Structure 1
Amino acid sequence: MIKRPDLLIITGPTASGKTGLSVKLARLLNAEIISADSMQIYKYMDIGTDKVSKDIQKEIPHHLIDICEPDEEFSVARYKKLADQKINEIFKRGKLPIIVGGTTMYIKAVVEGFMLPYLPDNDFRRKYKEELKSIDKNRLHNYLKMIDPEYAKRIHPNDTRRVTRAIEIYHMTGRTRTYFEFRQNRKKSRYNYLQFAIKRDRQKLYNKINSRVDEMISNGLIEEVEYLFNNFNPGRTAGQALGYKEIKEFLDGEADKETAIKNIKQGSRHLAKRQLTFLRRNSKNIWLNPDHWNNTELLAYIIKTACNKFEYFERNESKWNLSLLKCMV
């Protein structure tokens, strides 16, 4: 019988502390990190996506960061293919793969094998997509509520890309996106995985979000956005990234600086709320609250839980830092 690779997942809303926690775990467990962030895949978007520093990337291997040009489109299907490759490579090296990020569709695609049906990029589909673009976003979302109410609950009307995609799926296949998710959820994962989700106290999370946005501005986010749009034509994904589109509006004279910063903070808080709503639907999440536990307690709990499930610890006891673990527990 083929062994399923062990896979550790750290997820949670934006600014919840995923990166810091994962780096500490990777140091202890001789692990490599695979990013599950739909914006960190893009080059030249470092400050606004809060990428881990180059020094840490040299110390701990990080994968699926800086793999696309800003004007390149990227899909869940492509992410799944690349992530599966990286997991198997890390597994063969005798190390532990850790997926870290808040893009839940990326994580879902990897652990559940969830893939949307293939829709051919032909003239009919392109014409259909153009017709959908001409329809008001609220009307589109209301139509999605009629054909796929479960999925519509999870998608904001402003997310026209996902709304349009769900409508396309229905009209091209006769089935809803929810149907394909339900069918896929019945399959067994190809990985032996544990998924930890971070949930902070709301006001503390919002305070961290606000502070992080201020820090991004101080670190040069405005200059980064200016360089990005002066040198590239960011696609519909990178160009609409939170923080980038608001600063672009400021640079274009459509908003003042104070309003742009306020909108980034508000958008980030709304994003965190949506991410938590989505995560709460996953009964397999093991919840962590850094506001109630210190770092030592968090790390010890994660490692103890993983020890009971992962063969990695039996195979590689000498490779991860047992002395530090003993100090913790």
Structure 2
Amino acid sequence: QVYKGLDIITNKVSPQEQSLCRHHMISFVDPLVSNYTVVDFRDKAGALISFPSSADTSPPLSPPSTASPARESCIFSRDKIPIVVGGTNYYIESLLWKVLINTKEKTSTTPGLISDRKEELEQLDGLELHRRLSQVDPEMAAKIHPHDKRKVARSLQVFEETGIPHSEILHQQQEEEGGGPLGGPLRYPHSCILWLHADQAALDQRLEQRVDEMVAAGLLEELRDFHKRYNQEKVAENRWCGTIQHRLLSSLALTFLFHSLCFKGIQALKQVTKRYARRQNKWVRNRFLRRPGPNVPPVYGLEVSDHLRWEEDVLKPALEIVESFIQGREPSAEPVRMEYDAKENKRSHRVCDICDRVIIGDREWA
């Protein structure tokens, strides 16, 4: 929802809903900008919540005594409590914990003017990338599968732009006070997490209905307008692929072909949406509920399978939890917690002699 336009495909909060309370981090990034990252999100969101002296410094839990105009716009300085809503739990984790690594500073926000070293590396052969990583950071290379080009490229980028092996930086984070096996300390110690979860069948049905409602609201027209703008941008940059895509889109506009592709596209969108929801729930379980280390906020589960019981199962319990949180007392609800297997090594490296395959992780090997 950070992108301008694309209100339907991102299921953006409506203007009516936004009028009920102040919203942030919505509709401020041009969707044609491809270099917006989770680091950008963390930096901007952190500055809105408080005003840390640097991107990776834990911000204060109370506003400074002397506030500049910029500081006065921060949520803490207005004696308000920030509510982070998601969405993409990787972004939420990056805001709550010190888990990201800053590399080279960006010098421009204009699309196309920034050379993304990670993207450049990803164009190379995967095995060659892994060989390079083995030379500069053998510990990290042993933890990443040779075919996981994205992670290998990221580790190489970290080394090239900082001069420090990726594994060494991770160790430094973990060894900080409050750090743990998954990264550095918690930035906001007084936090709590409300996890809305549903029965899988109910969730799948709700997601399919949501896609149908998006189509009825004008999803295809929104995507068509975006595609037209995308092609105009690429043609303006003298990129031949944009012209080809434009011709392809024109040919696909033939009525008999359009309806067939449209139906297939909608079905594919439903499948992708359901897979994404499963990944997000898995992230909550593995990175929040099973998170090892001393600084883990309580996670309270709220059952949303039956929307007719929203008030009893969600609204009332959530209000009681939040009121207890504000007043500094324990709520009557028990937080959800899953046991962490300290013996399991998710980054162990083994080679199967029979099939000659690299296996990463104890569970995969078993």
**TM-score, length-normalised on structure 2?**
0.58
**Secondary structure in 1 matching 2:75:** helix
Q: Is the 8 A contact 2:2 2:27 kept in 1?
A: yes
Q: How does 1:66-145 map to 2 (within 5 A)?
A: 66-72=27-33, 73-88=35-50, 89-119=74-104, 129-135=119-125
Q: Is the 8 A contact 1:140 1:164 kept in 2?
A: yes
Residues 82-140 of structure 1: CA deviation (Å, up to 9, x unaligned):
21222232232233321101212221122113322314679xx867743422436x998
Q: Does 1:263 align with 2:268?
A: yes
Alignment size in residue pairs: 254
Instruction: Report the equivalent of 1:168.
Output: 157
**Secondary structure in 2 matching 1:310:** helix
Give ranges in structure 1 of 5+ residues lacking alignment.
1-39, 236-247, 314-329
Change (3 A) 1:300 1:178: farther
1:64 to 25, 30, 40: 25
Q: How does 1:1-329 map to 2 (within 5 A)?
A: 40-72=1-33, 73-88=35-50, 89-119=74-104, 129-135=119-125, 147=140, 164-169=153-158, 173-176=164-167, 179=171, 182-183=174-175, 184=179, 185-232=183-230, 251=249, 253=252, 256-281=261-286, 282-283=288-289, 284=297, 285-291=299-305, 294-296=309-311, 297-311=313-327
Stretch deviating more after TM superposition (269-278 or 188-197): 188-197
Q: Is the 8 A contact 2:140 2:166 kept in 1?
A: no
> How far apart in 2 are the matches of 1:139 and 1:259?
37
Give ranges in structure 2 of 5+ residues lacking alignment.
51-73, 108-114, 134-138, 234-245, 290-296, 330-366
Change (3 A) 1:193 1:171: same
> How far apart in 2 are the matches of 1:120 and 1:303?
41
**Secondary structure in 2 matching 1:49:** coil
Identity %: 24
Which of 1 and 2 has higher RCO (CA within 8 Å, sep 6+)? 1
> How far apart in 2 are the matches of 1:305 and 1:126?
43
* Residue 290 (structure 1) shift: 1.1
Larger Rg: 2
* Residue 53 (structure 1) shift: 0.8
**Secondary structure in 2 matching 1:60:** coil
* Residue 267 (structure 1) shift: 0.8
Instruction: Report the equivalent of 1:241.
Output: none
More helix by share: 1
**TM-score, length-normalised on structure 1?**
0.64
**Secondary structure in 2 matching 1:309:** helix
> How far apart in 2 are the matches of 1:269 and 1:149?
32
> How far apart in 2 are the matches of 1:105 and 1:180?
21
* Residue 220 (structure 1) shift: 0.8
Stretch deviating more after TM superposition (225-234 or 208-217): 225-234
